[in-house]
Structure 1
Amino acid sequence: MSDELALTGLACFGHHGVFDHERRDGQTFVVDLVLGLDTAAAAASDDLHHTVDYGNLATSVRAAVENDPVDLIETLAQRIASVCLLDARVEWARVTVHKPDAPIDATFSDVALTITREREATT
């Protein structure tokens, strides 16, 4: 069984992109997360240690976005998913990276990529 914990609209400032001005000037990226995990133990115990601490998760995700620039939001989304899956209770992570200020010569409201990654089975 998998419950879902969502953290949406996490604004981060990063220097990702393929263009020099993106790397130099940086821009805002907005991250939405949905994590699959069993929250029954936390509900029964009312103890933060039995669930994902979304405050710490937000800090870790912001650090993943704000450091080590990459060219593609695909790479960034994978990095964020990997951070989410560090907690053994997380069965899967759905990560959306929004790039609302993408360098596109057109009127648009958002560019976003969503990926879903599952914990690899151990044998």
Structure 2
Amino acid sequence: MVYRGNEPVDRIILKDMEFYGYHGVLPEEQRLGQPFVVDVELFLDLAPAGRSDDPESTIDYARVFRVVEEVVTGPPCRLIEAVAERVAAAVLKEFPVAEVLVRVKKPAAPVPGRFEHMAVEVRRRR
């Protein structure tokens, strides 16, 4: 794997995946649901895939999407921190990556005021 300092450099990025889930502290959030937007960055050595041009030597992006979708549309959490943690754990369990960065955005958070989204980000290593 290629590193810059202690950080792996190669990564696969799935950005702005949209799902409908039932996460939130308020009862209405868990009853009515709302959209969630998720970014996932997978850190791994991409040199073998780049050299071979063989899909078997990399990660199946569609499978990553399905794993994230299962978590976000699955059993509700009160906190998006818990959603992010579940996504990170599922990705590390399913795929041979050195680490994963997960960002969960809540564009319709029930907070007064104007904003693009509220978000949390977790980064987990093996």
Indicate whether the TM-score tops 0.5: yes
Is residue 2:63 matched to residue 1:60? no
> Per the alignment, in what secondary structure is the counterpart of residue 82 of structure 1?
helix
Contact kept in structure 1, 2:59 and 2:95, CA below 8 Å: no
TM-score by length of 2: 0.90
**Cα displacement (A) at 1:95:** 0.5
> Per the alignment, in what secondary structure is the counterpart of residue 72 of structure 2?
helix
Residue number among 36, 46, 53 corresponding to 1:46 in the alignment: 53
Contact kept in structure 2, 1:13 and 1:28, CA below 8 Å: yes
Residue number among 96, 99, 103 corresponding to 2:106 in the alignment: 99
For residues 67-119 of structure 1, give each alpha carbon's deviation from its aligned partner in whole angstroms, at most 9, with x where no partner exists: 10010001000001112212452001111000000000222221011110001
| One-letter amino acid of the structure 2 residue matched with residue 98 of structure 1 | K
Gaps of 5+ in 1: none
Alignment partner, residue 13 of structure 2:
6
CA distance in 1, matches of 2:20, 2:42: 22
TM-score by length of 1: 0.92
Over the residues paired in the alignment, what is the CA RMSD in angstroms? Answer: 1.1
> Per the alignment, in what secondary structure is the counterpart of residue 95 of structure 1?
strand
CA distance in 1, matches of 2:118, 2:87: 17
Alignment partner, residue 117 of structure 2:
110
- Of all paired residues, the percent bearing the same amino acid is 39
> Per the alignment, in what secondary structure is the counterpart of residue 101 of structure 1?
coil
